Structure 1
Amino acid sequence: MGSFPLLPDRNGRRRFVALGDSFTEGVGDRSKRLPNGVRGWADRVAEKLAKAEPGWEYANLAIRSKRLRHIIDEQLEPALAMQPTLVTLYAGGNDILDFGTDVDALMAEYESLVARLAATGATVVLFTGFDVKVSAVLEPLKKRNIAYNRRVREIAARYNAVLVDYWCFDAFHDRRMWDSDRLHMSKAGHKYLAGQVLDHLGVPHKISPLEWEPPSKLSLREWEQAQRRWVHDWVLPLFGRKLRGVTLGDMLSPRWPEPVKVPRKGGLKKLLEKAPAAAPEGN
């Protein structure tokens, strides 16, 4: 950690561009004032970069539900046109959840995307995927996740990318690090991940993990109620959208589609003090 100094380009520019899906958009970290109703780890990283070194610009093109092909088709060229000096990419997690996904073909496309980003000379940050213990129903997908993570590690080494090995973070075994849908990080989870990304980049910050008491053990009745609520609120709507061929990202735009100069004080909310409130978040 700290071995990847974030130097400006020859024009003195420091520009962070985030690509991906709901993981990077910030779903689970609700904020009524910010675009799409969320904040997320990438916003937090951008703010700490600006505090450590004034002049950082930031764009976030990530939109929930996007598959790898969408990220390539919709986000890659705009990102390259911005001439970033720092790029983060998490992509492929939604593809892994789709039936019939060919992991070898998926990772070949993923590597091509990473190669394009690395060729810019920017510092590239990649992430493995966490083994989310959502339900025994999804356990067959674990092999896909293991294969995905192995290839991400190999690709990160091949292209000298910074690897944030999310799979290895024990803190995320605590259910409080996850939102009510059990698939997206909670506010605490996003804050923790922001700290990890900054640590990997060698950027000073004061983000510290919450010191919680051990989680209380649910009674059988409480567990059954939680399961029913989760199935009703999240699982059934998710499968309904899959059957209809729609996603929650279909009508959304990128949160920060063009680079914005991040205020050193007040953070990104400072840019929106006179703007209307963001739309409510959906997962």
Structure 2
Amino acid sequence: MRVVGNCNSLSPIAAVGWPNLRRCFLPSKTLTPSLSSTLSLPLPLRRVSRISSSAPMEPADVAPPPEPKKPNKPWLVVGLGNPGKKYDDTRHNVGFELVDAIAEAEGISISSVSFKALLGKGFIGDVPIMLVKPQTFMNSSGESVGAIVSYYKIPHKQVLVIYDDLDLPFAKLKMLPKGGHGGHNGMKSIIDHFKGNRDFPRLRIGIGRPPGKMDPVNFVLRPFTRQEQEELNFTFQDGIEAVRILLLEGFNKSATFVNTAKPLKQLG
């Protein structure tokens, strides 16, 4: 567009007045067709078109931020046994031994003393776990376990109790989702303190039957032979893996792993 400086000296030029401004433009007939058509377009419509084509998404189209994940309730893994060196490495204390093996494998220190128990806290994967060894002696185990469950509000289905079983062959494991005490005084005490609730998983470790006419009470307090302890070490490796599967993949997969026959070479 050509602007002329003196509007009065050039008769072909049309003077157009704007507020507070005076400019001279060439008559519209001298404009090129493309420029003329451009000036004739309704400018507001063109602006709306450009804005709408690049307008940002409405807030409703944006996904809301995820809600913060609620912390998981810890799993309580309890090993049953009797406190004191007198009972170390005895058959009745295999629950203690397996819990110690889990603690060592997972880097958890069982050093706190509370609720009449030795207690250690840690994680398996991202799942919190509490390892517990009641110090009340076997027949009063429920006093300690019941208090911990009540204080931390742990669901019974997240309480795994590990203990010895006379009715299982030596070094064999058995995982069950629930059940009675089967004559085991430690389990009886726990069920009593759970107000009769039996719906909690348990991992039984076979210690075999007493030979001949030996009193079962004396048998469970006998220490393992060196060969038996070596065999148990293989069993404990399976027990550690069973607990990992239980926490990370669920009870059914853990029970399948535990209750499936293992190669005989592990018992060699």
**TM-score range for the pair, normalised by the shorter chain length:** 0.3 to 0.5
RCO (CA 8 Å, sep 6+): is it higher in 1 or 2? 1
Using the size of structure 1 for normalisation, the TM-score is: 0.34
Q: Which structure: greater strand fraction? A: 2
Which entry has the higher C-alpha Rg, 1 or 2? 2
Using the size of structure 2 for normalisation, the TM-score is: 0.36
